[in-house]
């Protein structure tokens, strides 16, 4: 009996409690279920395990890169400065909550398949990295509220499953307007921003068929010189280098060389203003490297885990809609992507000014610094949704609204992240913001009352999504009636080879296509 207990304790404490090993085991189980060969099973499990170790290594680099920036911002503004980077906060959280995140993610995927199978919400969420991000957010929020690990995994897994089938349904009328059909859904936790962009586009786009109707962004000619920003590592490194240098110069002007140099180890390490600026530039580039390491680790994990999940999903929910990453809509309005990005970034800068001048002194909110990567991908998608309902004016206004949301929501979210609220980074996309805030304050009630409120929130989201599906999506509601597009867009997509099919049973049916274009996502 002592041997049995020792073996059981070893398995639980040394294997199942280690996130890297746990993810490797789950990957192996999924590949076995797909009847892959022994070599593929072993190789896939090892790659997933190594990917998790890469994420942990990248997290260390992120922390090392963010610490000086936090000190510089304190010196430059007197307030805490935060760079919303999903990959960074997820990497940092792995050290404390890695095993809970892994279990919660697995349970959430299972719950989402059950909901897709037995409710009208027949969406299979295949954006694996966002599943990981939401699992991490829920783990942090629930654990920070004082719940034990089992409750965090159980309650959080159900909430994750609900979000994975509900959010595609909320966005589907606008996604259908973009793509011209029901072949694909959006599976990305920036959905609030996309719906808001679509709704805003309809308000500002003018009445269809009149002189006030705003024409599509696709009639515009944009410079090729901006397209290098699609490379996630380049965009991250560039944006962070600019942020570091600007903040370092402001800190130099406000507190002087000696105080500013403390962010980099003191005057012995950074001798003068020139060296400090170059140290800031280098640190910003190193942040880009750190995020690239985390991204590579996440790609490695999901490159094995997602195919296993996708194959299982095709067997459990045949005929469901694939819910894919945000860049899946980029080919439908490529000019709108860049218009939305620029507008979103401008919105982020304006919101930063509001935080700096008003909300930070009044409410003690952190300063949310705009980064090129989140504004490009969520702002770009928001531009596409805004253009679909409101043309050029819709793309501009939709991207701008998204920029405001991904600045103010992360600032409010920090209040429910516990000790992670001081990490100088946080979750960036809109659904992490509103859902994390709602769950955090509900769970903060504590005890049975908190559990009831959080569970009721999950049921409310699920019920609203089912109502949306039945009364709006299935009824064929068009958010921009009379405007050109819709079916025409689908015909153009088919002609260009960009049409998307539903998930079909695995008997020879092809897998859904990967998101087009370069992306910060691992897929």
* Model confidence pLDDT, tens digit, residues 311-353: 666 677 777 788 888 888 888 887 888 789 889 989 998 999 9
At 118 the pLDDT is 94
Do 205 and 402 form a contact (C-beta atoms < 8 A)?
Answer: no
pLDDT band for 14, please (50, 70, 90 cuts): low
271-280 per-position pLDDT tens digit: 678 888 888 8
Do 156 and 440 form a contact (C-beta atoms < 8 A)?
Answer: no
Say which residue, 518 or 151, is predicted with more confidence: 151
Please say if the pLDDT value at position 110 is more than 60.
yes
Closest CA to 382 of 425, 432, 329, 346: 329
pLDDT band for 492, please (50, 70, 90 cuts): very low
At 488 the pLDDT is 43
Closest CA to 315 of 34, 26, 23, 32: 34
**CA max distance for the chain:** 84
At 337 the pLDDT is 83
At 369 the pLDDT is 84
At 107 the pLDDT is 92
At 496 the pLDDT is 44
Please say if the pLDDT value at position 495 is more than 50.
no
Please say if the pLDDT value at position 388 is more than 80.
yes
* DSSP per-residue string spanning 157-195: HHHHHHHHHHHHHHHHHHHHHHHSSSS-EE--TTHHHHH
- As a whole number, mean pLDDT of residues 438-466 equals 95
- Report the DSSP beta bridge partners of residue 186: 324
> Sign of torsion, CA 497 503 509 510?
positive
- As a whole number, mean pLDDT of residues 9-15 equals 59
pLDDT band for 518, please (50, 70, 90 cuts): very low
- As a whole number, mean pLDDT of residues 158-186 equals 93
pLDDT band for 125, please (50, 70, 90 cuts): confident
At 2 the pLDDT is 67
pLDDT band for 517, please (50, 70, 90 cuts): very low
Do 437 and 137 form a contact (C-beta atoms < 8 A)?
Answer: no
Give, in order, the Cα–Cα distances in Å from 384 to each of 124, 197, 216, 390: 22, 9, 10, 10
Of 190-194, 265-269, 320-324, 457-461, the range with the lowest mean pLDDT is 265-269
- As a whole number, mean pLDDT of residues 60-72 equals 73
Say which residue, 443 or 275, is predicted with more confidence: 443
Please say if the pLDDT value at position 290 is more than 60.
yes
For the whole model, what pTM was predicted?
0.76
Locate the domains of the chain by residue range: 12-495
At 522 the pLDDT is 33
pLDDT band for 479, please (50, 70, 90 cuts): very high
C-alpha span between 418 and 438 (Å, rounded): 15
On average, the pLDDT of the chain sits at 81
Please say if the pLDDT value at position 498 is more than 50.
no
At 10 the pLDDT is 67
- As a whole number, mean pLDDT of residues 6-11 equals 62
Do 289 and 241 form a contact (C-beta atoms < 8 A)?
Answer: no
* DSSP per-residue string spanning 70-89: HHHHHHHHSS-EEEE-HHHH
CB contact set of 494 (below 8 Å; sequence gap of 6+): none
At 491 the pLDDT is 43
* HEC profile of 206-260: CCCCCCCCCCCHHHCCCCHHHHHHHCHHHHHHHHHHHHHHHHHHHHHHHHHHHHH
CB contact set of 113 (below 8 Å; sequence gap of 6+): 124, 312, 313, 316, 317
256-275 per-position pLDDT tens digit: 887 788 777 776 666 678 88
Please say if the pLDDT value at position 372 is more than 60.
yes
What whole-number percentage of the chain has pLDDT above 70? 80
The helix, strand and coil proportions of the chain, stated in percent and rounded to the nearest 5, come to: 75, 5, 20
C-alpha span between 19 and 140 (Å, rounded): 15
Please say if the pLDDT value at position 87 is more than 70.
yes
Do 188 and 130 form a contact (C-beta atoms < 8 A)?
Answer: yes
Say which residue, 381 or 284, is predicted with more confidence: 381
Could you give the 3-state DSSP secondary structure of residue 426? strand
Please say if the pLDDT value at position 484 is more than 90.
no
At 510 the pLDDT is 35
Say which residue, 18 or 194, is predicted with more confidence: 194
Please say if the pLDDT value at position 293 is more than 70.
yes
Closest CA to 395 of 330, 350, 349, 351: 330
C-alpha span between 331 and 342 (Å, rounded): 18
Please say if the pLDDT value at position 85 is more than 90.
no
């Amino acid at each position: 009996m002592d041997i049995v207990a020792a073996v059981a304790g070893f398995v639980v404490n040394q294997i199942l409690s280690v996130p890297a090993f746990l993810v490797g085991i789950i990957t192996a189980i999924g590949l076995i279920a797909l009847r892959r060969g022994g070599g593929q099973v072993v190789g896939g499990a090892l790659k997933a395990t190594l990917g998790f170790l890469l994420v942990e290594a990248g997290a260390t680099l992120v922390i090392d890169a963010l610490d000086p920036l936090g000190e510089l911002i304190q010196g430059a503004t007197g307030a805490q400065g935060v760079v919303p980077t999903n990959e960074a906060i997820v990497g940092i959280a792995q050290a404390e909550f890695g095993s809970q995140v892994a279990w919660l993610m697995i349970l959430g995927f299972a719950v989402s398949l059950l909901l897709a199978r037995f409710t009208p919400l027949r969406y299979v969420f295949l954006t694996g990295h966002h599943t990981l991000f939401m699992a991490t957010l829920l783990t942090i929020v629930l654990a920070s509220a004082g719940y034990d690990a089992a409750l965090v995994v159980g309650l959080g897994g159900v909430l994750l499953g609900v979000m994975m089938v509900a959010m595609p349904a909320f966005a589907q009328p606008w996604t259908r307007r973009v793509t011209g059909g029901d072949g694909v859904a959006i599976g990305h936790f920036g959905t609030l921003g996309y719906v808001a962009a679509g709704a805003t586009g309809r308000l500002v786009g003018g009445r269809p068929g009149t002189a006030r109707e705003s024409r599509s962004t696709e009639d515009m000619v944009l410079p090729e010189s901006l397209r290098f920003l699609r490379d996630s590592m380049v965009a991250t490194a560039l944006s962070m280098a600019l942020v570091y240098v600007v903040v370092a110069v402001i800190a130099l002007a406000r507190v002087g060389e000696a105080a500013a140099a403390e962010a980099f180890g003191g005057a012995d390490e950074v001798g003068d203003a020139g060296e400090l600026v170059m140290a800031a530039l280098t640190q910003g580039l190193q942040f880009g490297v750190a995020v690239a390491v985390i991204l590579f680790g996440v790609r490695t994990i999901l490159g094995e885990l997602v195919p296993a999940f996708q194959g299982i999903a095709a067997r459990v929910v045949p005929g469901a809609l694939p819910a894919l990453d945000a860049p899946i809509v980029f080919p439908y309005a490529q000019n709108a992507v860049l218009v939305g990005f620029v507008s979103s970034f401008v919105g982020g800068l304006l919101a930063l000014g509001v935080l700096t001048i008003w909300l930070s002194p009044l409410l003690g909110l952190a300063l949310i610094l705009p980064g090129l990567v989140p504004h490009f991908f969520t702002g770009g998608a928001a531009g596409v949704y805004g253009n679909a309902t409101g043309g050029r004016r819709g793309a501009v206004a939709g991207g701008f609204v998204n920029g405001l949301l991904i600045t103010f929501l992360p600032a409010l979210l920090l209040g429910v992240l516990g000790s992670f609220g001081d990490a100088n980074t946080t979750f960036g996309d809109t659904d992490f913001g509103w859902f994390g805030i709602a769950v955090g304050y509900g769970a903060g009630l504590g005890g049975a009352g908190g559990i009831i409120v959080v569970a009721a929130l999950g049921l409310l989201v699920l019920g609203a999504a089912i109502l949306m599906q039945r009364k709006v999506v299935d009824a064929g509601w068009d958010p921009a009636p009379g405007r050109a597009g819709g079916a025409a867009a689908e015909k153009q997509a088919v002609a260009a080879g960009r049409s998307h099919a539903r998930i079909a049973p695995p008997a020879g049916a092809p897998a859904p296509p990967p998101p087009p274009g370069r992306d910060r996502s691992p897929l």
